[in-house]
Chains A and B, each alone.
Chain A
């Protein structure tokens, strides 16, 4: 098990092995779900989900609240076990019993809030739980100089520049905190990074910061699972999109095969959106004509820059989707930007 995945030990510095992996390995998914599902008693939270995470690729999982996103990441991160289908890591079926198991296989999860201790300095947070020490036992002590240096290097590698690593991490912005958590996961040998709605609580600029680091993690050869309910954020960095609805996979599409409009539409639920538009028209005060049509715009090309072109119109449609509260806020703001 361990011999097959030398870079999954979770020890500091092993992340280098990821970059050294031979090219053919790139095609094999690091993590794969085949028809996976999860039932809590007689409640089927997730059913028949296929998902593949490749090195150097960002797999976006989208879905409304209650669509099963959390259940999905809990399976991959080892908090819960799947009850149907298969879960493979490096091609082997696995069944994790704790998050530690997942970490040992190089699967790190960055939770939205469970990432840092606010009053502790940045560098202490970076190494928390895996501190570097020096000296024999009775006087074994923290190697503070080395930890600070390493933390600074690693953060700079991810494009995060902090002048004062001694400042409590709580004084950083939400996006920076999230980024430190990502840099930490990368440093401690993560091959697969699961990001649980990293942009949900963030403003426009801070979301941009996090998206940048997601791209940076991808550049370093990590497989990224990006969970979000904001199609715009997903489309900016994603290579593959999976949309969950009521516990099943509604859409699974490579970037080349889908436009932002289609993605947004899937995410918002085309029919529901039409109904909502109709209701809003009756309430009045909403210029329905300005909203985009429900039918996906076939003209929109799959090229990345189509995201920018269609941004303002598409984000308005998100704004009218009152169920996705977070994307409402950031989506609207983005539309104005």
Chain B
């Protein structure tokens, strides 16, 4: 009370209400603050920092070919990080995303080879299977109300076991048979795993898909009803339901979107290596989640962007390749990532607090 008269003349006093009618507490925030409040700004600065750092530390990285490799590496993480990020904004996450990629690739590979079908049949069946896994995750989650950690952990374990067991059962081996001489392989490879030439530099097509999907995801998230619903179910599920947002539909389709991503990356792996190792994919789910979190998505949902994870995935690719090109021991990669993750989360937290403070 007694402090009030002293505080009044201080520079911090709120500005006098202008001629326009205002309520005095919702004055427009400065442009810089509003810009900082965007979820992808923190990660953008981080990506630039990592980029500059490795350009200095690893001169060979300045070469166009090396850059293409970095982008390729980023794209395989980035394509998956997008649906994982949307799901995270929707308030859930999917631990089965990593092995689901392999499940999809195994399904397509084995089905085509064993039944000697056109590979496109395998591709389509794999898509259906991936969407079904996603729908199952979402359906169990919505019906039981269990946390997504438990539901998808169960799916993760089931898929991991099924991948190994079924592959051994069918092929008698830990990997699928080579499908490179089968019908339709070249077409499918052109779609999922080809590369093209840009000024003498070979660029993988996944880079293009990555950016196309990112643009699409951004548009959906910010410019459509469905995007609105994603933010709403992640931000406050009960409020969303109370105002008529179809929460069940939104959650299940988000999980199916992750299934779609897993299918796409799975197809890429199948058609670039012709064969799939059944034990792979474990641990990738955490990389996707990390890329989304580094990209400014709130782990608890309701906040984030689709562009942020693009930079998040780029940081991964950059660090991964940068360490190699800098001639360091690649074992440092994970340690570097951990530091990056923590740093990104702290920066995001700080930026968001500063920018949304009233």
Contact = CB atoms under 8 A, between A and B. Distances in A.
Interface in B205-233: 219, 223-225, 227-228, 231-232
A164 B26 contact: yes
Contact of B225 (A115, A116, A131, A166): A131
Contact of B223 (A114, A141, A166, A173): A141
Contacts of A133: 224-225
Chain A residues touching B, majority SS:
loop
A117 B223 contact: no
Contacts of A111: 242
Contacts of A140: 224-225
Given A120-B235, A164-B29, A129 B245 contact: yes
A206 to B, nearest CB: 11
Contacts of B236: 116-118
B22 interface: yes
Nearest to B222: A142
Interface in A152-207: 160-164, 166-168, 170-173, 176
Interface string B344-358: 000000000000111
Interface residues of A, number: 35
Of A124, A128, A130, A173, most B-chain CB atoms within 10 Å: A128
A29 interface: no
B26 A172 contact: yes
A119 interface: yes
Name the interface size band of chain B. 20 to 34
Interface string B292-331: 0000001000110000000000000000000000000000
A100 interface: yes
A99 interface: yes
Contacts of B239: 114-117, 128
A129 B224 contact: no
Contact of B232 (A120, A162, A172): A120
A117 B26 contact: no
Of A117, A131, A161, most B-chain CB atoms within 10 Å: A117
A47 B140 CA distance: 40
Interface in B10-26: 21-23, 25-26
A163 B231 contact: no
Nearest to A131: B225
Contacts of B235: 117-120
A103 B242 CA distance: 11
B302 A117 contact: yes
B303 A119 contact: yes
Nearest to B358: A171
A269 B232 CA distance: 43
A133 B223 CA distance: 9
Contacts of A114: 238-239, 242
B302 A119 contact: yes
Interface in A62-103: 99-100, 103
Given A129-B243, A129-B245, A141-B224, A120 B231 contact: yes
A167 to B, nearest CB: 7
B356 A124 contact: no
Interface in B229-259: 231-232, 235-236, 238-240, 242-245
Given A118-B235, A118-B236, A164 B28 contact: yes
Given A117-B232, A119-B303, A128 B240 contact: yes
Contacts of A171: 356-358
Contact of B228 (A100, A128, A162, A176): A128
Contacts of A164: 26-29
A9 to B, nearest CB: 14
Contacts of B28: 163-164
A98 to B, nearest CB: 11
Contacts of B357: 171
A161 B22 contact: yes
The 9 closest A-B pairs by CB, nearest first: A129-B244, A129-B243, A117-B235, A171-B358, A141-B223, A117-B236, A119-B302, A114-B242, A131-B225
Given A133-B224, A176-B23, 9 more contacts: A99-B242, A111-B242, A117-B232, A128-B240, A131-B228, A141-B223, A141-B224, A142-B224, A171-B357
Interface of B: 21-23, 25-29, 34, 219, 223-225, 227-228, 231-232, 235-236, 238-240, 242-245, 298, 302-303, 356-358
